[in-house]
Amino acid sequence: MNEVRAITIFTRAAALGSLRKAAVEQGISPQAASHAVMQLEKKLGVRLFHRTTRKLSLTEEGQGLFDTVTPALAVLSSALDDARRSKAEIAGPLRVSAPRAMGHVVLWPYFLEFAELHPNVQLDVQFDDRFTDLIGERADVGFRGGSPPSGGSIARRLLPIQLIVCASPAYIERHGAPRTIDELDGHRCTGYRRANTGKQAPWEFLIGDEIVYRDMATTLCVNDTDAETAAVIAGSAIGQLGSFSATAPIRSGQLVPLLVQHVTQREAVYIYYRHRTEQPLRVRTFIDFMVARLAGNTNFYFEPSELHALR
């Protein structure tokens, strides 16, 4: 940066024909401006100016340097101006990573709303169920369901994830409803295969104060929560669904919650990002927007009183 500053002083002195005028423009003393140019000459091993008491003119080497660096300095100045504007304008590229498991149901409508409100932001959304390293993937903001991400990111909890056993009214009419966990063995059940491991996730139940995991024999196993939810709504099987998928169908009567006393609430939806002071305004605005829309949004989970009423 000292070299850049010295070159800037040199080009302004050459353009103005005066080191003193260049010093005033740069907000430094004439002595500091003269010293910077002399240091530049020393480093390059050439004289850049012919100096007299009345006149400052470029040497041949100085003219060559001036002609070469002036366009480059203009590009640098423009780039710096763009960086400064990114702190003041809600505009520019915004790369977001989100899981498929909840991306379409929970996040996508709000992404579209943000894009409508801020048309000068170029939103680039990558749906991927694995954890995204923001720095490695050059993402600005990530979302994750499960445990809070680590590795230097700042994580904010948005929503609890409740795991709710559900069936459609049509399924219950044909096959009945299990009254205990053990009775699930006599029913058709769906399963969810984790995208990051390829393994089928066990069902989990709250029994007393403990969470108990059970590997279920499933008749339908998928790696997409939307497909699993659709299968349960269609009456194909009983499923244990995340509250972000199950809440709306339960409230509309498309699904019936079962074994509600055993619902777990171990995991959550998180938004994560690098330190806010490093973020352009468009990123900070997006973070604030999503937190305002999602934090504690009961469209995607049941409050304890409502959950108790479902029993």
Band of pLDDT at residue 173, cut at 50, 70 and 90: very high
| pLDDT recorded at residue 275 | 75
| Average pLDDT over every residue of 56-64 | 89
| pLDDT recorded at residue 110 | 96
Of the ranges 130-139, 152-161, 186-195, 234-243, which one carries the lowest mean pLDDT score? 130-139
3-class secondary structure, 95: strand
Closest CA to 96 of 279, 295, 296, 241: 279
Band of pLDDT at residue 153, cut at 50, 70 and 90: confident
SS (H, E, C) 263-305: CEEEEEEEEEECCHHHCCHHHHHHHHHHHHHHCCCCCCCCCHH
Q: What is the Cα–Cα distance from 279 to 81, expressed in whole angstroms?
A: 16
Give me the domains of the chain, ranges plus CATH numbers: 2-84 (1.10.10.10), 92-157+275-294 (3.40.190.10), 159-267+302-309 (3.40.190.10)
Band of pLDDT at residue 84, cut at 50, 70 and 90: low
3-class secondary structure, 125: strand
| Whole-structure pTM value | 0.70
Band of pLDDT at residue 82, cut at 50, 70 and 90: low
pLDDT higher than threshold 90 for residue 172? yes
Band of pLDDT at residue 1, cut at 50, 70 and 90: very low
Of the ranges 12-21, 130-139, 148-157, 287-296, which one carries the lowest mean pLDDT score? 130-139
| pLDDT recorded at residue 181 | 96
| Average pLDDT over every residue of 26-34 | 89
| pLDDT recorded at residue 210 | 95
pLDDT higher than threshold 90 for residue 136? no
- Which residues sit opposite 109 in a β-bridge? none
Contacts of 91 (CB under 8 A, 6+ apart): 85, 118, 120, 121, 282
Tens digits of residue pLDDT in 271-298: 988 876 668 889 999 999 999 999 999 9
List the beta strands (DSSP E) in 84-235: 92-98, 121-127, 141-146, 154-167, 190-192, 203-207, 210-214, 220-222
Band of pLDDT at residue 81, cut at 50, 70 and 90: low
| Average pLDDT over every residue of 36-44 | 90
Of the ranges 100-104, 216-220, 229-233, which one carries the lowest mean pLDDT score? 100-104
Of the ranges 29-33, 72-76, 226-230, which one carries the lowest mean pLDDT score? 72-76
pLDDT higher than threshold 50 for residue 36? yes
Tens digits of residue pLDDT in 260-274: 999 999 999 999 888
| Average pLDDT over every residue of 117-141 | 81
- CB neighbour burial string for 267-292, b if at least 16 within 10 angstroms, e if fewer: bbbbbbbbeeeebbbbbbbbbebbee
Better pLDDT: 197 or 119 = 119
CA 208 to chain centre: 37
pLDDT higher than threshold 80 for residue 180? yes
